[in-house]
């Protein structure tokens, strides 16, 4: 069992369990699937938050238009009347103008928000600190959890143009968005170990990691053309701060010693080389004055 700590641009992502016999090709595909799946969940959670606060998405022909323009062009939102939340709704205008403002009731909002919280915890980066591995199954369970919550609140389903429904059906179009820059293509993805690329030409994980099965290693994924990622720092940021603090304290101690030129200690009894002799002869505490 090999525990792989996956990073992207020096940022920890998740832990993944594999074996030395696993082909590099399979490793890359699985790791990229988990990485892209986490991005997908983050996008869905962000949209569900907006869904809970402002209702379903306007049709493409209305998006970007003001209310006056919509009235002048006689545009309507037929899906807004068909896809209503269970238990009724209240109106709250979307300041961005993307959604129709028909938000669910407080109880249904809680259902959506709880699902978002649970899904984020399932794929959180904090799992690395807890030493828990992530799998494609867990990622899919998180997506199913979100899908189930949306189905409860919107039993009539969301409009076909709503980005949440498109994400669930895997037909989302990220062209021209910031999210598209984060997604990694599994066919061209690269994975690196110890500053060297792990090639897919029939080699296995053991060809790069070694023959010790029970180990933990760090690997980094990147897009084709990004070049080799930077090497891991020798110490963490916390260790570096502690080392600098220790060096500073030592420096201050040396400064105090250099500035301390007081030689009054030479008058102390313990500094007197004849102190032992005086003790034997009883010459201590002798006063020469009457």
pLDDT in tens, the chain (290 residues): 899 999 998 889 999 999 999 999 999 999 999 999 999 999 999 999 999 999 999 988 888 888 888 888 888 888 888 889 998 899 988 888 889 889 999 999 999 999 999 999 999 999 999 999 999 999 999 999 999 999 999 998 899 999 999 999 999 988 888 888 899 999 999 999 988 889 988 899 999 998 888 899 999 999 888 877 777 666 777 888 888 998 988 888 888 777 765 565 566 666 677 776 777 666 666 666 55
Q: Which stretches within the chain are classed as H helix?
A: 24-54, 67-72, 78-82, 106-122, 136-153, 163-168, 178-182, 206-209, 237-259, 275-281
What's the pLDDT at 168? 94
Contact 86, 105 (CB under 8 A): no
Total-model pTM: 0.78
Angle at Cα 157 formed by Cα 155 and Cα 158, nearest 5°?
Answer: 135
* Of 151, 153, 144, residue with least CA distance to 108: 153
What's the pLDDT at 50? 93
How far is Cα 179 from Cα 164, in angstroms, rounded to an integer?
14
**DSSP state for residue 133 in the 8-state scheme:** B
Query: 33: helix, coil or strand?
Result: helix
């Amino acid at each position: 069992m090999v525990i792989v700590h996956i990073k992207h641009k020096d940022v920890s992502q998740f832990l993944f369990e594999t074996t030395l016999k696993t082909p590099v090709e399979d490793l890359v595909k699985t790791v990229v699937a988990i990485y892209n799946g986490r991005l997908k969940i983050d996008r869905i959670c962000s949209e569900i938050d907006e869904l809970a606060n402002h209702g379903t998405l306007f049709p493409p022909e209305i998006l970007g238009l003001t209310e006056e323009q919509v009235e002048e062009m006689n545009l309507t939102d037929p899906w807004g009347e068909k896809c209503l939340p269970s238990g009724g709704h209240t109106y709250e205008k979307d300041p961005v103008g993307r959604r129709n403002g028909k938000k669910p009731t407080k109880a249904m909002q809680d259902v959506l928000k709880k699902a978002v919280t649970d899904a984020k915890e399932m794929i959180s980066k904090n799992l690395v600190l807890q030493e828990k591995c992530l799998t494609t199954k867990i990622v899919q369970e998180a997506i199913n959890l979100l899908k189930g919550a949306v189905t409860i609140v919107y039993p009539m389903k969301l409009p076909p143009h709503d980005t949440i429904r498109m994400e669930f059906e895997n037909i989302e179009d990220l062209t021209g968005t910031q999210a598209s820059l984060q997604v990694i293509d599994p066919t061209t993805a690269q994975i690196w170990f110890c500053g060297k690329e792990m090639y897919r030409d029939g080699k296995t994980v053991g060809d790069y990691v070694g023959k010790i099965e029970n180990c933990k290693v760090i690997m980094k994924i990147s897009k084709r053309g990004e070049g080799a990622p930077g090497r891991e720092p020798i110490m963490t940021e916390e260790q570096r701060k502690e080392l600098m603090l220790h060096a500073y304290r030592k420096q201050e101690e040396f400064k105090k010693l250099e500035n301390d030129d007081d030689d009054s200690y030479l008058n102390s009894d313990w500094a007197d080389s004849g102190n032992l002799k005086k003790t034997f002869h009883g010459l201590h505490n002798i006063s020469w004055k009457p």
